Amino acid sequence: MRTVADEQGTTWICLELPEVPVDQRAAAAALASDDVVAIECNSGAHRVIALVPTGWDDDMDDARLNAVIREFLERR
């Protein structure tokens, strides 16, 4: 689990899901990597499910995690 605040000051809580959701499995397979996991990030007002590399919680800095959240939020 990780928390991150975005540029507007909104706090997001991100958790790794036990498996990639069915509707994102094709996208995960297209990344041609076994090192992809799904995370759910929730701000209370918004929720996104994003695909990220394994180890995201230790390896991604706040700026990169925010960029991923924005990217998947815009896809909705």
User: Which pLDDT score is estimated for 32?
Assistant: 67
Residue that is written with structure tokens 């090192």 in the block:
35
* Domain total in the chain: 1
Q: What is the pTM of this model?
A: 0.88
C-alpha–C-alpha distance, residues 40 and 48, integer Å: 6
CA–centroid distance for 52 within its chain: 6
Domain that holds residue 49: 2-75
- The pLDDT profile of the chain, 76 residues, written as one tens digit per residue, is 999 999 999 999 999 999 999 998 888 888 766 789 999 999 999 999 999 999 999 999 999 999 999 999 988 7
